[in-house]
Structure 1
Amino acid sequence: MTLKAAALTATDGAVPVAHVRRPGAVRTASRRRIAVLMPDLGGGGVQKMTLALAAAFSAHGHEVDLVVYHVEGELEAMVPPQLGVHPLRPNSRLVARLLPLLADPLGLPRLLLPVLLTRRPARTLVYLADLARYLRERRPDALLAAAPHQNLEAVWAKRLAGVPTRLLISERTVPSQVLPTSDLWRNRFLPPLMHRTYQQADVIVSVSEALGDDLAKLTGIPRQRITAIYNPVVGPEIERLVAEPVDHPWFAPDQPPVILGMGRLSDQKDFPTLIRAFAKVRARRRARLVIFGSAKDAAKTELRRGEIKALAERLGVGTDVDAPGFTANPFAYMARAALFVLSSRYEGLPGVLIQAMATGCPVVSTDCPSGPMEILDNGRFGPLVPVGDVEGIAAAIEQVLDHPLPREVLKGRARAFSVERAVRRYLEVLFGEEAAVPDVAEA
């Protein structure tokens, strides 16, 4: 048996891949099997947008497989039952390290530093063999992936499997802000590998025009190869979610105005700058700050929440700042908040900013790369403030609290980022099926 064949059949003692399939599903010319690759079911923005897109494909009559490295996380209970969930199993690390070379022997010079010679290759690489096996067995019409390592692995898996599956890879976060200064040495050598490998995909998507510009500049991929498609953020379920009750006493009608922050508890979101800006606002007027979000695990979440509370205490606003953790329904809180603030250092297309606008909540955002400038139309729908500018964020918060835009104006802008528009564009670039998508009322 060849090394390639052994790699694609090795099991490490694991059970066969579980196939969960919608009863009676039969593929036709208009009904496609679409596989969506996810690292896990955590509550991060990439996972939320990927799951929303998968659900939208299913709602349009396609058979959808969630192909997941780790079937765990805050979104596990939110996976629609009609989606097939296919957990992948790991292979040996030695075999995993060699598979990219077997998939693309001519790519050896660019594989050396980020894959073959690095002491610690990407953790998800051990799932490459089983991803290739999934493609050979299930033969989906299309495979979608997001984020650099999953994108690379999707390309290699398709080559190893030898299937005609249409492959769409996408970037969701500005690579120039993540890769060149990464703490992981291997990531600093990814751009040349991305240049070669990404162009073997059928479609390359960025979630904003600015992110597409950044990806092309960093990797040297021709800009015309990159298609910008906004994330599927606004769906018809928002009105129902907005109406759900909230269990936080600060959101009651008779309470001081609540300023809302939300997102992964990480350095990227720069919540310390938001807290410092809030302290300046609080010195001049009554207000409260609530930051929803979690980190990569329970221990890290508690550590980050403790840091938020400690900083608030040092600034003298400890009784007016809360960090409750993850919420499955952010819309209900957004609709009741006086203001939402995005304080990020970088983004791709921040869905949480669009979600807030979709509920009618006024917004303030840093002018970070990339996305906020496109979403807010150069400040037309909310102030844009330099990254890390405490005084600027404080001033913008007070400006919007005093003179908020009408809620219907914000909701109207958010509809440009609807699920329907996104799914139409994805099906068009994958299959040329824009005309075949049924008309469904947008949110």
Structure 2
Amino acid sequence: MEKKKVALFLPSLVGGGAERVMLSLASEFAEQEHHVDLVLAKASGEYMDQVPANIHIVDLDTSRVLYSLFPLIRYLKENRPQSVLSALDHTNIIAICAVTIANVNVRTIVSIHNNLTHLSKVKKKRFVTQWIPSLMKWSYKRADKVVAVSQGVAEDAMQRLELPEEKVQVIYNPVVDERLIEKAAEPIDHPWFADGEPPVLLAVGRLTPEKDFPNLLRAFAKLRKTRPARLIILGEGEKRAEMEKLIIELGISQDVQLPGFVNNPYAYMKNARLFVLSSLSEGLPTVLIEALACGTEVVSTDCPSGPREILQGGRYGSLVRIEDSEALFQAMKERLDMPDNGTNSESYEPFWKTNVSRQYLDIL
């Protein structure tokens, strides 16, 4: 295979799903001996210490992605990568603008990780939604390819951004590899996972409105009235204070923990009795796939887009309506009442990193 010079462009390496996907792709590309530049608007974030030594970090050192436009143009002119892959809406726009202004021969791939229609409803009060869609319509048509992380995301993007079908390609996220399996097997030093303790339910994600963790907390409060159980939510974000207040109001402080970001969530997943996704909107929820790969049974909201595709319409886990704490409670209770049969390896087969990285390299 011809060795390529590939640039992956991101705002930073904060602990989000898209950032983890891009770092995973960068690692796979570098392992196949391609030259990989990880270009960051700001070289910061929880994943910085996870960047392999064979990946070159380019720090544009800007306080906002918007300000990275001209530094990115300079990078493109001086380094001439063969292709650029970006993720996240505003970052994609800047990447395409930079390639256009730099006037260099660079193949540009942008990736969409969320259902744009439903995400805009969640973020409807934010000023950014007033101008981002128009810029996305203009810029995405100038990309060589638009990657959608699920079929639902692809269909939504084609309709919302008026993209031709041949411009869009569905490539699932690169989630599963031997390293994940190995890390899941590592011991976990947490008293709640000791033998004889009540079952632990786990959720993982940034504490943001679209994850709808308050709905999960209400459902767990209902569950806690019927049986001993505990809930751990891993992640950090703007809704922490609001969630902590709700936990107190619901009277479940003794049975809920919010440890923040952890370096190895897979050990938590493997030891949890049940993994729960409560989101209002997703693209292709990586954590749901990771939980399946760790052998943990799952309950998920049937939000757009991704969970229904991942769980094959309910074949590999329970699907419930969004914003329905009663339905979520019932699904969790039913799963806990059933024997723990683990998960089927077929459920995460489409998400092996080597297969996914090959698809990306084909279009890069």
TM over 0.5: yes
Summarize the alignment of residues 36-435 of structure 1 with structure 2, pairs less than 5 Å apart: 36-90=8-62, 123-179=64-120, 182-295=124-237, 300=238, 304-403=239-338, 406-409=341-344, 411-430=345-364
Q: Highest relative contact order (Cα 8 Å, sep 6+), 1 or 2?
A: 2
Summarize the alignment of residues 17-28 of structure 1 with structure 2, pairs less than 5 Å apart: none
Separation in 1, partners of 2:216, 2:48: 30
Please say if residues 264 and 294 of structure 1, whose CA atoms lie closer than 8 Å, have aligned partners that are also in contact: yes
Separation in 1, partners of 2:208, 2:190: 23
Q: CA deviation at 1:428?
A: 1.4
Describe the superposition over 1:121-140 as per-residue Cα deviations: whole angstroms up to 9, x where unpaired: xx412110110111111111
SS at match of 1:348: coil
What is the one-letter code of the residue matched to 1:146? A
Q: CA deviation at 1:141?
A: 1.1
What is the one-letter code of the residue matched to 1:133? R
Separation in 1, partners of 2:81, 2:240: 42
What is the one-letter code of the residue matched to 2:334? Q
Q: CA deviation at 1:315?
A: 1.6
Alpha-carbon distance change, 423 to 72 in structure 1, aligned in 2, over 3 angstroms = same
Separation in 1, partners of 2:62, 2:241: 35
Q: CA deviation at 1:183?
A: 2.9
What is the one-letter code of the residue matched to 1:189? W
Separation in 2, partners of 1:147, 1:172: 7
Please say if residues 42 and 62 of structure 2, whose CA atoms lie closer than 8 Å, have aligned partners that are also in contact: no
Describe the superposition over 1:101-120 as per-residue Cα deviations: whole angstroms up to 9, x where unpaired: xxxxxxxxxxxxxxxxxxxx
Please say if residues 285 and 306 of structure 2, whose CA atoms lie closer than 8 Å, have aligned partners that are also in contact: yes
SS at match of 1:374: helix
SS at match of 1:291: strand
Please say if residues 283 and 305 of structure 2, whose CA atoms lie closer than 8 Å, have aligned partners that are also in contact: yes
Separation in 1, partners of 2:183, 2:268: 10
SS at match of 2:173: coil
Separation in 2, partners of 1:130, 1:276: 46
Please say if residues 37 and 55 of structure 2, whose CA atoms lie closer than 8 Å, have aligned partners that are also in contact: yes
Indicate the percent of aligned positions where both proteins have the same amino acid: 42
How many aligned residue pairs are there? Answer: 363
SS at match of 1:407: coil
Gaps of 5+ in 1: 1-28, 92-122, 431-443
Partner of 1:437: none
Please say if residues 179 and 190 of structure 1, whose CA atoms lie closer than 8 Å, have aligned partners that are also in contact: no
Say which one has the larger Rg.
1
TM-score, L = length of structure 1: 0.79
SS at match of 2:303: coil
Q: CA deviation at 1:382?
A: 0.7
Q: CA deviation at 1:224?
A: 3.1
SS at match of 2:11: strand
Separation in 2, partners of 1:286, 1:206: 41
Bigger Cα displacement from structure 2, 400-409 vs 241-250: 400-409
Please say if residues 82 and 106 of structure 2, whose CA atoms lie closer than 8 Å, have aligned partners that are also in contact: yes
